[in-house]
Amino acid sequence: MVYNFNAGPSILPKEVFEEAAAAVLNYNDSGLSILEYGHRTPAFEGIMQEARDLMKELMGLDDNHQVLFLHGGASTQFMQVPMNLLDLKESAAYTDTGLWAAKAIKEAKLFGKPEIVCSSKDKNYSFLPKDFAVPNDSKYLHITTNNTIYGTQWQKIPVTSNSMVADMSSDILSRDLNFNAFDLIYAGAQKNIGAAGVTVVVVNKNILGKVKRNIPTMMDYRNHIAEGSMLNTPPVFAVYTCMLTLRWLKKQGGVKAIEKINNEKAALLYAEVDRNSLFKGTVAAEDRSKMNVCFVMEDGQKEAGFLQYATDNKIIGIKGHRSVGGFRASLYNAMPLSSVAYLVELMKAFENN
């Protein structure tokens, strides 16, 4: 058995792998692979509709919020969001809390005036700023709810009267939130929703159509809403895998149930990081991510040894991002508590040896 702590593409539920693998050979006893199914067939239209319905159900979305499955990854959303919501002379508030937030700010400059209302860059993004104001004339506030690289997470979502936009790529559906409070949410699927190759966008249709610019057909959210996420050929297999993963999450009891398990996993690992004399965390305690646990060793010379020890014991994907170093254990929804307990035992054994 291999223990996969990769930050993404990441672990998925075993039953999802098994059902998806079977469908590659023969989907639903049709004699066809899911890879060759036409996207305009009733079968795939049903898959797409079920995936969208499950997202709405699991997030508790109202009728104004539409679910889209799009191409391009979250990185495309860095520019698609301001293209749809921000005119050139208008401003939007952005929180600079990590690499992906900085990339979103860079793209927004092409379409309007992003104003950085807070930043933790000077501390290598090791905490989340708390005291900041959002200008009243900002079209929206953009936050990255969880920072995969640095291991921070907004434990309390900022409150604002402005529209809320969130990149939730690495913690969507991992905890119970009032998702209707956001006017636009986007997330790459490859952490908690499914396989790489599709991006989920949840958008309040009432915020669209306000900008003066002409928006290219493929970039206009309204066109994707009108066509049910099939304005062009969707990533069929990736959407199918999302549907299976969402079915699995519903079977677990939904977002509230998985949040309880995620809290247990994070608490177990952080307790060992804090207890173990060899390790230390890199993030302010109140801002620690429950999805991506980042830590280093008190003696950096020992890090190569622990990485090799972990690798020899079938743990993969825990090497930290180059901008932080050390280690990063990603605890997404499909990660079982037993795998986290196994990592903790290895940390104890390494300390004793």
> For residues 102 and 9, what is the distance between their CA atoms, to the nearest angstrom?
21
- The predicted structure's pLDDT at residue 13: 97
**What angle (nearest 5°) sits at the alpha carbon of residue 152, between those of residues 146 and 157?**
60
Same fold, 3-10+254-352 and 14-251: no
- The predicted structure's pLDDT at residue 126: 97
Catalytic residue among 139, 154, 167, 220: 167
Catalytic residue among 139, 191, 265, 290: 191
> For residues 278 and 312, what is the distance between their CA atoms, to the nearest angstrom?
19
Residues in the chain with pLDDT < 50? none
Could you tell me the residue ranges of all domains in the chain? 3-10+254-352, 14-251
The verdict on whether 62 is a catalytic residue reads no
- The predicted structure's pLDDT at residue 322: 87
> For residues 119 and 217, what is the distance between their CA atoms, to the nearest angstrom?
34
Determine phi and psi for 280, rounding to 5 degrees: -150, 150
141-155 as b/e: b if 16+ CB within 10 A: bbbbbbbbbbbbbbe
The verdict on whether 248 is a catalytic residue reads no
Query: Which CATH code for domain 14-251?
Result: 3.40.640.10
Determine phi and psi for 292, rounding to 5 degrees: -130, 105
pLDDT digits (tens, 9 = 90+) for 119-164: 999 999 999 999 999 999 999 999 999 999 999 999 999 999 999 9
The verdict on whether 191 is a catalytic residue reads yes
- The predicted structure's pLDDT at residue 323: 83
Q: Which CATH superfamily is domain 3-10+254-352 in?
A: Aspartate Aminotransferase, domain 1 (3.90.1150.10)
Beta bridge partners of 146: 153
Beta bridge partners of 328: 294
> For residues 311 and 2, what is the distance between their CA atoms, to the nearest angstrom?
9
Catalytic residue among 96, 100, 220, 287: 100
* 3-state secondary structure (DSSP) of residue 208: coil
pLDDT digits (tens, 9 = 90+) for 5-47: 999 999 999 999 999 999 999 999 999 999 999 999 999 999 9
